[in-house]
Amino acid sequence: MSPTTQRRFLLGEAEMPTHYYNISADLPVPLPPPLHPATREPVGPDALAPLFPMELILQEVSQERYIEIPAPVRDVYATYRPSPLVRALSLERSLDTPAHIYFKYEGVSPAGSHKPNTAIPQAFYNRQEGVTKLATETGAGQWGSALAFAASQFGLDLKVFMVKISFLQKPYRRSMIQAYGASIVPSPSNETNAGRAILEMDPESTGSLGIAISEAVEVAATHEDTKYALGSVLNHVLLHQTIVGQEAITQMGMAGEGPDVVIGCAGGGSNFSGIAFPFLRDRLAGRTSTRFLAVEPASCPSLTKGEYRYDFGDTAGTTPLLKMHTLGNDFKPAPIHAGGLRYHGMAPMVSHLYDQGFIDAVAYKQNECFEAAIRFIRTEGIIPAPESSHAIKAAIDEALRAKETGEERVILFNLSGHGHFDMAAYDAYLAGELTDVVYEPAGAGAEGERPAAAEREAVTA
């Protein structure tokens, strides 16, 4: 391969997309609506008004293909956008593959992941509608730090309910949130009915994302001046992330190639949607046959092993019912190191497109993902977030299949964040201390890797 082959494809600030792409406008079958849990009727915009500013509620149900990105949002995006598209030449060489591997690098944001792409507009729209305080939850701390950054940019107060186990085990994400000026409450807490109910049953509870969501939603619902913000799953979040894929389309054009497969790891589904949806537009219109691959952990496989049905977004059952692939709102994910992928459900939009056959999914165990991450670190030099390593593993497998068939496949994946705060996880992997956890639904054919219940709950390193 020629040593002069171009590695990085960069856009100037002026080339940043001016609009978000709304895939709702191009769906062959409309998305099933959220339902009120009691009446089972579709929830109207009014029902969501205590939680979200009106502009975000309108975006949630919008059928407009393109929605303009406000100038103040573009201004804050410019602290790190457009993000680079990189051809992973060293990784290609180490795999000796004819495939071309590209990745879009979202770890360049101040918070270190793709999450500021939605945190920034969410903070802006709240500010614009006179909201002064936000409440949210965070698991591993990535969403909390992204929203804390965005809240600081727009002068909003932020209270973050941080899952207690992460509060204790991830001190640096906690420090980061506090450095941006937000306040943190370990969840479950005594500040909400939802938190108190959990603590009454189990005073030692170390919390979960579902419980923390219940607490943050309750604070927003019961305080006139406070709104809630969610970092994944909802349509407006996926919409904001489409800035990633739109940039990538321009950058792949600079590289003179189009992807045969577009890959993203999938927790709630937002970074995957962000890179996939703008490319999916051409597939939906029959102009391409690009494949789209969502990658999830084998321990929390909502797409590949979950049921497609209406379910709650939180543990307490206070949110509207969403039609999604779900493991059940009482599902307790094993404590794997890709904290951002430990959510019981999948975005309704991703679930719908998967159900319609436009998206494929695959699940991997954490050790094989860390192995892929180490290969990536020793070739491309970037230390990926454990979540992102799932996308890397899938990209490597695609490249190895291309090698078998001698095919010049073009692979594009989203590198959703860096792993600089996750070095304890790398330590555990390198020391050989990580447990693989494979979830099988109850009653599934007990073949091969089905672990005992105790093993499913196994605490890893």
Ligand X SMILES: *Cc1c(COP(=O)(O)O)cnc(C)c1O
CB-CB contact of 152 with 110 (8 Å): no
Q: Which residues contact 319 (CB under 8 A, 6 or more apart)?
A: 213, 217, 312, 313
User: How, if at all, do strands 66-68 and 133-138 pair?
Assistant: unpaired
Smallest separation, CB 113 to ligand X (Å): 4
Q: Which of 270, 299, 302, 460 binds ligand X (CB under 6 A)?
A: 270
Smallest separation, CB 142 to ligand X (Å): 3
Smallest separation, CB 40 to ligand X (Å): 27
Nearest to 290 by CA among 263, 314, 309: 263
Looking only at residues 218 through 237 of this chain, which bind ligand X when binding is defined by CB under 6 A? Answer: 232
d(CA 343, CA 387): 12
Using CB under 6 A as the binding rule, whether residue 326 contacts ligand X is answered as no
Smallest separation, CB 269 to ligand X (Å): 5
Using CB under 6 A as the binding rule, whether residue 259 contacts ligand X is answered as no
Looking only at residues 406 through 435 of this chain, which bind ligand X when binding is defined by CB under 6 A? Answer: 416-417
Binding mask 366-395 for ligand X (x = CB under 6 A): -------------------x-xx-------
Structure tokens at 214: 């219940």
Using CB under 6 A as the binding rule, whether residue 267 contacts ligand X is answered as yes
Smallest separation, CB 200 to ligand X (Å): 30
Longest dimension (CA), the chain: 65
Looking only at residues 5 through 34 of this chain, which bind ligand X when binding is defined by CB under 6 A? Answer: none
CB-CB contact of 164 with 139 (8 Å): no
Kindly tell me which of 158 and 265 has the beta carbon lying closer to ligand X: 265
Using CB under 6 A as the binding rule, whether residue 186 contacts ligand X is answered as no
Region of 44-52, 168-176, 265-273, 352-360 interacting with ligand X (CB under 6 A): 265-273
d(CA 80, CA 425): 27
Kindly tell me which of 59 and 113 has the beta carbon lying closer to ligand X: 113
Smallest separation, CB 412 to ligand X (Å): 16
Nearest to 133 by CA among 117, 118, 116, 154: 154
DSSP-based three-state secondary structure for 61: helix
d(CA 281, CA 275): 11
Using CB under 6 A as the binding rule, whether residue 266 contacts ligand X is answered as yes
Smallest separation, CB 385 to ligand X (Å): 4
Using CB under 6 A as the binding rule, whether residue 341 contacts ligand X is answered as yes
Smallest separation, CB 243 to ligand X (Å): 14
Smallest separation, CB 262 to ligand X (Å): 14
Amino acid of residue 409: R
Looking only at residues 112 through 131 of this chain, which bind ligand X when binding is defined by CB under 6 A? Answer: 113, 115
CB-CB contact of 207 with 238 (8 Å): no
CB-CB contact of 373 with 380 (8 Å): no
Kindly tell me which of 261 and 347 has the beta carbon lying closer to ligand X: 347
Q: Which of 207, 340, 345, 348 binds ligand X (CB under 6 A)?
A: 340
Using CB under 6 A as the binding rule, whether residue 353 contacts ligand X is answered as no
- Report in angstroms the alpha-carbon separations of 163 from 58, 75, 137, 174, 219: 30, 32, 8, 11, 16
Q: What is the CB-side half-sphere exposure of residue 157 using CA atoms within 13 A?
A: 9
* Count of residues in contact with ligand X, rule CB under 6 A: 19
DSSP-based three-state secondary structure for 429: helix
Nearest to 266 by CA among 353, 155, 141: 353
Binding site for ligand X (CB under 6 A): 113, 115, 142, 232, 265-272, 340-341, 385, 387-388, 416-417
